[in-house]
With several copies, the nearest count.
Chain A
Amino acid sequence: GCSSSPASGTDSSLSDVTSKGELVVATEGTYKPFSYHEGGSGALTGYDVEIAEAVAAKLGVKAKFQETQFDGILAGLDAKRFDVVANQISINPDREKKYDFSKPYTVSSGVIVVKASNDSIKSFDDLKGKTTAQSLTSNWYKLAQQSGATVQSVEGWAQSVALLQQDRVDAVVNDKLTYLDFAKNTPNAGLKIAAETTDKSLSAFTLRKGSTALTEAINKALADLSADGTLSKISKKYFGTDVSK
């Protein structure tokens, strides 16, 4: 709606944050390992959460997290309920029309995950005529569709896995990082990676259009955190490698 149009006049995005002393960050809270609760019902944590906290610290404010589903996250950003979204939102041209993005803090590729016994899918071209499951957040929707797959939207990763295991879909296209985390915690799931994209997906903090000052401040903070090794450290904690660039 009209709320996405840049605020006319001065950009108060940064001064608003500093004056109230907190950066309001929207996240799903149910998206392991990026944004989830410790042990299920403990404190909010995750890769995106920790990076957001580090960025807030650099800005000299506290990060205040608000958790809701993907539709609420973006609508809430429009409604000025949040300053920024940290939820592995991938940058794409459609979204860039409506939102400002920071510099990316996750660089990852997409993977096709299939059942271990499935040998018929080895590349994106093999998805032609197959059914894939896909969460609404992710950016791999188009890729799968362009490869000729029938794409089913699902609410999250856990359901994607159930659909695969029950042979209700042939493949799941998702972020590689999500799969790796899952495979680490659930070694006997009977799934495997069938193929990986060559394209990289870039995830970044998402802000309202026109939040130029805040975006720049976050970019600077990210650069600082990258320089002092914080990003890398957080990344290694969750993924064992540095995925922040």
Chain B
Amino acid sequence: MTWDLIWSSLGPILLGAVQATIPLALASFALGLVIALVIALMRISGNVLLSGIARFYISVIRGTPLLVQLFVIFYGLPNIGLKLEPWPSAIIALSLNVGGYGAEVIRAAILSVPKGQWEAGHMIGMSRAQTLRRIILPQAARVSLPPLSNTFISLVKDTSLASLILVTELFRQAQQIASVGGDFMVLYLEAAVVYWVICLVLSTVQSLLEKRLDRYVAH
């Protein structure tokens, strides 16, 4: 009977993964990386105001529960006239979140590139922006890959919170099926296995990428 349940629920759960969890994670991560880069650059810019804003942003994002961030964006913003649909709300909240965590990762990676690389860039006549783009960031990319892939793995699991704002993803599917008959233990375990498989795939991709980028730091 339990096996029947697992089998019959696998379809909806995988559907939730494919239709919501994975696209939500991918979209939020892509957008989040852009935010993270911008915030990281603001943070290391000499400008007191910009770096102050970046610090505040990072502190708020990391210091408050994602659940509340989702709630504020979805249920709170309409009070000031900004009504976003569930998917945009989820992507915004999740990517702001990735932006906060990722900014610190990227900042640390940029700072880990030896100062001599900046100087060599300037020496051949590059501006600060040019050196950053062509010399520093490619090297920082390799350094930040492992922590960023951790951020991504967390993100995959965090997408489950999007169910609170009406996105029916993997975990919500499991919950709905479970609430009918009360088989929460079975369905949560099943959902956990699906998350685990997704994360295993991600880890494998990470290792492959790391190997490809390895020349960037081998010196």
Shortest CB distance A182–B (Å): 7
Number of interface residues, chain A, beta carbon within 8 A = 53
A186 touches B182 (CB 8 A): yes
Contacts of A152 in B (CB 8 A): 166, 168
- Does A68 lie at the interface of the complex (its beta carbon under 8 Å from any beta carbon of B)? yes
Instruction: From known contacts A41-B9, A99-B182, infer whether A154 and B176 are also in contact, taking CB-CB under 8 Å.
Output: no
Please provide the chain B residues from 1 to 56 with a CB less than 8 Å away from any CB of chain A in the complex. 2, 8-9, 11-12
A3 touches B79 (CB 8 A): yes
Residue B79 contacts which of A78, A136, A157 (CB distance < 8 angstroms)?
Answer: A78
Proximity string of chain B (181-202) to chain A, C-beta cutoff 8 Å, 1 when within and 0 when not: 1111110100000000000000
Contact-residue bracket for chain B: 20 to 34
**Binding stretch for chain B, among A31-39, A55-63, A236-244:** A31-39
- Does A72 lie at the interface of the complex (its beta carbon under 8 Å from any beta carbon of B)? yes
- Does B75 lie at the interface of the complex (its beta carbon under 8 Å from any beta carbon of A)? yes
B9 touches A162 (CB 8 A): no
A39 touches B184 (CB 8 A): no
A29 touches B164 (CB 8 A): no
Instruction: From known contacts A78-B79, A81-B78, infer whether A136 and B176 are also in contact, taking CB-CB under 8 Å.
Output: yes
- Most chain B beta carbons < 10 A, residue from A68, A70, A80: A68
Shortest CB distance B89–A (Å): 10
Shortest CB distance B189–A (Å): 9
Shortest CB distance A66–B (Å): 5
Contacts of A97 in B (CB 8 A): 181
Contacts of B172 in A (CB 8 A): 153
| Complexed CA–CA distance, A66 and B12 (Å) | 18
Shortest CB distance B117–A (Å): 48
Contacts of B11 in A (CB 8 A): 41
A-B contact pairs, 8 of them (CB 8 A): A40-B8, A41-B11, A75-B75, A152-B166, A152-B168, A157-B182, A158-B182, A162-B184
Q: Which A residues lie at the B interface, using CB under 8 A? A: 1-3, 29-32, 36-37, 39-41, 66-72, 74-81, 92, 94-95, 97-99, 136-137, 141, 152-159, 161-163, 166-168, 182, 185-186
